[in-house]
Amino acid sequence: MSSIATSQSDFEQAQKLLPGGVNSPVRAFKSVGGTPRFIARAAGSRIWDVDGNEYIDYVGSWGPMILGHTHPDVVKGVQETAALGMSFGAPCELEIDLARLVIDMVPGIEVVRFVNSGSEATMSALRLARGFTGRDKIVKFEGGYHGHADGLLVKAGSGAATFGVPDSAGVPADYAKLTLTAPFNDMEAVKKLFAENRGEIACIIVEPVPGNTGVMDLYSTGFLQGLRDLCTEDGALLIFDEVMCGFRVAAGGAQQRFGIAPDLTCLGKIIGGGLPVGAYGGREEIMRLISPDGPVYQAGTLSGNPLAMRAGLETLSRLRDPKLYETLEAKSARLVEGLLDGCKKAGVAATANRFGSMFTVFFTGADACNDYQDVCNCDLEFFGRYFNAMLDEGVYLAPSQFEASFVSAAHSDEDIDNTIAAAGRALAKITT
Ligand SMILES: *Cc1c(COP(=O)(O)O)cnc(C)c1O
């Protein structure tokens, strides 16, 4: 590998100025070790660091770059719109255009509100669910990430479902108590929470394709349908947090792919095409409770700004081509098979989960990885060595075993071949 001296000195400076040298924790490479690369530019499937090293990028800004970096139409659209003014704090027509497109694409959304991040979307959706049901408690799953709002930084203690304890300093315990948690794919635990808190649970919030524990499967186990049925029976709302899997596993998200309708949907990442956008939407009857139509307050100075709306429009409108998802599916399947095959040849125990173009390879002897505890049992130390060896080979994967990697429309067949070959070399290096 060529030098990373500039990234190293950038990181030293950044650490003096920013907590951990970063503005979002996972970028600091804490769980994998090594020096985070400072990125200078990107194009298509590639990113280049400040020392000029080139990487095939499977992070894609954590998903938004589904068309690849610097797609010419997206760049041109954003440049055009920027020249007309970047934010007005007043309505603009691009908001109508993007709302129409989102409502058209996502089956469960009849009315939508735009915000500036996924965290804002989930936090606001929870407030809305509480406002609609008049109930205070919420259910989330162990290891499920829904942004950094107080009540969502909670996971279960070990063992059975229990009352929440905060995961972060600064979250009041009294507040965290309103968050009930259960393991993924454990329907009995969820039913028990509902039985013990009858009439008090406002909603279940779940990533229908979890990506923030590494990708896992809640669909073929019947778990998602179970949650839908339970919410309907109880009068609680089902919130699909599709910030990551929305527009990723299908044009209409996981709800379209699986044919299961949530009451509310949270969106982020791809919806902004790389600019800060989030959204929450759902059944009209619920959405009409939001201010100024109704009593649930939520606002945003930069929400719906023309620049972000344009980036979203240019990106989403290009996702309506069904061919795009077919090609992504085929490329991603070939990549993951190739990576697993490489592990097998190197004598490394591994399994993988993949929906469409989001995937995680787990280093474990277990047959499957479908709850948080399974991922905790993976060889996390080995993952760190694999990640860094891949980086040395010019492949930029998500820097944690608890994350998904993403294939974009800009990844070529040659990129996939080169990645599989790089993985073979990386494994040879770290297993001998
Ligand atoms: C990324 C993510 C969020 C948070 O979105 P931000 O834009 O980082 O605030 C919430 N939920 C899920 C499922 C995510 O993947």
Which ranges in 34-117 belong to alpha helices (H)? 72-82, 93-105
The residues that bridge with 267 in the sheet, in sequence order, are: 279
Decide: 207 in ligand 1 pocket, CB within 6 A.
yes
Reading the block at residue 427, the tokens are 């494994």
Cα of 261 vs centre of ligand 1, distance in Å, is 20
Placement of tokens 């669910």 in the chain: 129
Return the CATH fold of 5-70+322-431: Aspartate Aminotransferase, domain 1 (3.90.1150)
Say what the pLDDT of residue 157 is: 38
Decide: 117 in ligand 1 pocket, CB within 6 A.
yes
Say what the pLDDT of residue 164 is: 62
Q: Residue ranges of the domains in the chain?
A: 5-70+322-431, 72-319
On the question of a common fold for 5-70+322-431 and 72-319, the answer reads no
pLDDT tens, N- to C-terminus, the chain (432 residues): 579 999 999 999 999 999 999 999 899 998 899 999 999 999 999 999 999 999 999 999 999 999 999 999 999 999 999 999 999 999 999 999 999 999 999 999 999 999 999 999 999 999 999 999 999 999 999 999 999 988 888 773 333 344 566 778 888 888 889 999 999 999 999 999 999 999 999 999 999 999 999 999 999 999 999 999 999 999 999 999 999 999 999 999 999 999 999 999 999 999 999 999 999 999 999 999 999 999 999 999 999 999 999 999 999 999 999 899 999 999 999 999 999 999 999 999 999 999 999 999 999 999 999 999 999 999 999 999 999 999 999 999 999 999 999 999 999 999 999 999 999 999 999 998
Give the β-pairing of 278-282 and 111-115.
antiparallel
Cβ neighbours for 33, distance < 8 A, ≥ 6 positions apart? 384, 388
CA separation for the pair 145, 266 (Å, rounded):
12
CA separation for the pair 357, 215 (Å, rounded):
11
State the CB neighbour count (10 A cutoff) for residue 314: 21
Say what the pLDDT of residue 79 is: 98
Q: Which of 137, 140, 269, 331 is catalytic?
A: 269
Say what the pLDDT of residue 171 is: 86
Determine the residue of 114, 269, 280 to mutate for testing ligand 1's pocket, defined as the one with the most ligand atoms within 8 A of the Cβ atom: 269
CA separation for the pair 179, 151 (Å, rounded):
6
Quote the pTM value.
0.96
Please indicate whether residue 269 is annotated as part of the active site: yes
Decide: 126 in ligand 1 pocket, CB within 6 A.
no
Nearest CA to ligand 1 atom 8: 118
DSSP for residue 25: G
Please indicate whether residue 150 is annotated as part of the active site: no
Return the CATH fold of 72-319: Aspartate Aminotransferase; domain 2 (3.40.640)
